[in-house]
Amino acid sequence: MSVAIVDYGSGNLHSAAKAFERASRESESDQPIVVTRDPDAVRRADRVVLPGVGAFADCRRGLDAVPGMVEALEEAVRKQGRPFLGICVGMQLMAERGREYQVTEGLGWIKGEVDRIAPRDPALKIPHMGWNTLDARKPHKLLDGIALGPEGLHAYFVHSYNLNVADRSDLLAEAEYGGPVTAMVARDSMAGTQFHPEKSQKLGLALIANFLKWKP
Amino acid sequence: MFKVRVIPCLDVKDGRVVKGVKFVDLRDAGDPVEAAIAYDAAGADELTFLDITASHENRETIFDVVQRTAEACFMPLTVGGGVRTVEDIRKLLTSGADKVSINTAAVNRRAFVKEAAEKFGDQCIVVAIDAKKVSKPGEPDRWDIFTHGGRNPTGLNAVDYAREVVALGAGEILLTSMDRDGTKSGFDIALTRAVSDAVPVPVVASGGVGNLDHMVAGIRDGHASAVLAASIFHFGEYTVRQAKQHMAKAGLPMRLDP
């Protein structure tokens, strides 16, 4: 059993790896966490995590620059149905396309586009930066045992763009920020979080632990 | 619901917390990582390290501190102080920082903000502004940017400068009143509001917190998205949780997770 965190030159792999290691230890799932840019390691992994920080187009370029990585992701996640978690821009990349600075193709695993957050209240600050509660839109193993809703635990967000899902059944959780913001998506063996579980203290570690034992 | 942030700030020199953190029994009050763990447990919403290491050869110490903190704390971390190049930013981010704060380097060369934001995304680029009031009594308020701990005037208007760096890609402004810093007399509310209302990104109010009402005023009257404080937390006058409970009582949306 192993968990591959895909290293494509984007973002904060160190924090993500440490949070997964901690959650693995505490939940006694004891799955080795491997940070890798080797497509074969992704193919062999039992679970795959795609982190991502920065701009959509830049992340997509980074992913394409690792030879064979997109193909390995397609194979492991789409063909083999291995549990997959996209984080922040890693989740956004699951969409069909992104509209940050330029139009860029995503992986197309979740129908929808990534576009700038447009809160109803123009005084609201962008980026949506800080802690917000989550409202679940359907039950899911990743949310097991986590207190949600207005009185629930908080997740740490930092983003200016939002994945607008075309099919609402892909929506797992939303946050309120001058209108609904996509906080989580899920379909088949895939899930994604717009917030950073590796920075979301209690909620984050619980969610990662759930991911490590998820059997879709 | 979206919440207001309370951010303790630790001054770090040569890998050690300056003056130490006294609010809990730490084995080593000067270890930034132990202090970070204590603030994490106390409910801090983020943590900021300001690296004030003067000598070039000790600059590497901050990367080790950031790396060890990221291994122990699963909360957002901003690091500032001495950030001059894209390579400095890359090293801090890969060590585990979530945001990097740029101060003098942005004053000296504005294009640096743009380069950094394009490279790493505007969400992780904070521009720190140290401002002092320069208008005379009776004149309309005006604050200028000062560097080197408030010693060097630049002649740059703080509100105009904030607009400019945000247009270049700063995702957050860390705004310190040099008039109030260390005075415990409260934030410069007029300054905070002038900058907060001028830019579309979050503003973190800093400089002058002496009691918990000051923190409420920074958000409610200063329109800041977050408040940063150092000494009132380090010396145990108030805990982070007390601050957040006080702010919640005043009607502000606070994260009070158990």
Rounded to two decimals, the ipTM of the complex is 0.93
| Known active-site residue A154 | no
- B224–chain A nearest CA distance, Å: 10
CA angle B201/B204/B210 to nearest 5° reads 160
3-state DSSP helix/strand/coil % of chain A, to nearest 5 = 30, 30, 40
Chain A residues inside the 8 Å CB shell of B200? 125-126
Average pLDDT score over residue span A187-210: 96
Both tokens of residue B129?
């502004």
User: Containing H/E element for B233?
Assistant: helix B231-234
Residues of A whose CB is below 8 A from B122:
127, 160
Of the listed ranges A9-23, B55-69, B178-192, B241-255, the least confidently predicted one is: A9-23
Give the pLDDT score at B234: 87
Give phi and psi for B67, each to the nearest 5: -65, -45
SS3 A109: coil
* pLDDT for A11 beyond 70: no
Express each pLDDT in B56-85 by its tens digit. 778 889 999 999 999 999 899 999 999 999
Cβ-defined contact of A18 to B71 (cutoff 8 Å): yes
CB contact under 8 A, A130 and B5: yes
Please classify residue B57 by burial: count the beta carbons closer than 10 Å to its beta carbon, then call 0-12 exposed, 13-18 middle and 19+ buried. exposed
What pLDDT is attached to residue B8?
96
Angle at A51 between CA A105 and CA A98, to 5 degrees: 20
What's the Cα-to-Cα distance from B63 to each of B100, B115, B246, rounded to whole Å? 12, 22, 35
Q: What is the pLDDT of residue A25?
A: 92
In whole angstroms, what is the distance from residue B147 CA to residue B37 CA? 31
Q: Residue B74 and residue A54: Cβ atoms within 8 Å?
A: no
Q: What is the DSSP string of B200-215?
A: SS-EEEES---SHHHH
- Angstrom distance (rounded) from CA B248 to CA A167: 37
Q: Tokens for B86?
A: 């894209």
Q: Residue A192 pLDDT > 80, yes or no?
A: yes
Query: How far is Cα A201 from Cα A208, in angstroms, rounded to an integer?
Result: 11
Is-contact B77 B126, C-beta < 8 A?
A: no
Q: Is the pLDDT of residue B235 over 90?
A: no
Closest to A161 in 3D by CA, of A8, A45, A31, A52: A52
Residue A59 falls in the annotated catalytic set? no
Q: Is A71 a catalytic residue?
A: no
- C-alpha dihedral sign at B41, A145, A152, A195: positive
Whether residue A131 and residue B255 make contact (CB cut-off 8 A), yes or no, is: yes
A-chain residues within 8 Å CB-CB of B3?
130-132, 154
Q: What type of residue sits at position A91?
A: M
CA distance A43 to chain B (A): 25
Per-residue pLDDT tens over the stretch A79-109: 999 999 999 999 999 999 999 878 999 999 9
Q: Residue B123: which of A13, A160, A203 has the nearest Cβ?
A: A160
Residues constituting chain B: 258
Residue (of B161, B160, B176, B152) closest to B228 by Cα position = B176
Q: Do A131 and B45 touch (CB under 8 A)?
A: yes
pLDDT band with cut points at 50, 70 and 90 for residue B121: confident
How many CB atoms are closer than 10 A to CB B201? 24
**Whole-number pLDDT of residue A168:** 97
Q: H helices within B77-202, ranges in order?
A: 86-95, 104-108, 111-120, 158-168, 189-198
- The DSSP line for B44-79 is -S-EEEEE---SGGGTTHHHHHHHHHHHH--S-EEE
- For chain A, the average pLDDT equals 94
Compare B1 and A29 and report the one with higher pLDDT.
Answer: B1
Query: Is residue A22 within 8 angstroms of chain B, CB to CB?
Result: yes
State how far the Cα of B154 lies from the Cα of B133, in Å rounded to an integer: 13
pLDDT score recorded for residue A65:
96
* A44-88 pLDDT per residue, tens: 999 999 998 888 888 999 999 999 999 999 999 999 999 999 999
What mean pLDDT comes out for the span B227-255? 94
3-state secondary structure of A103: coil
A150 touches chain B (CB under 8 A): yes
Label residues B205-228 b or e (16+ Cβ within 10 Å = b): bbbbbbbbebbbbbbbebbbbbbb
pLDDT digits (tens, 9 = 90+) for A158-185: 999 999 999 999 999 999 999 999 999 9
Across the strands, what pairs with B12?
Answer: B17, B51
Q: Is A175's CB within 8 Å of B2's CB?
A: yes
Q: How near does any CA of chain B get to the CA of A79, in Å? A: 32
B39 interaction partners in chain A (CB closer than 8 Å) = none
Q: Is the pLDDT of residue B29 over 80?
A: no
For helices A13-26 and B86-95, angle between their N-to-C axes, nearest 10 degrees: 0
- Sequence-distant (6+) residues with CB within 8 A of B80 are B48, B49, B50, B51, B100, B101, B102, B103, B126, B128, B174
Tell the burial category of A94 from Cβ atoms under 10 Å away from its Cβ (0-12, 13-18, 19+): buried
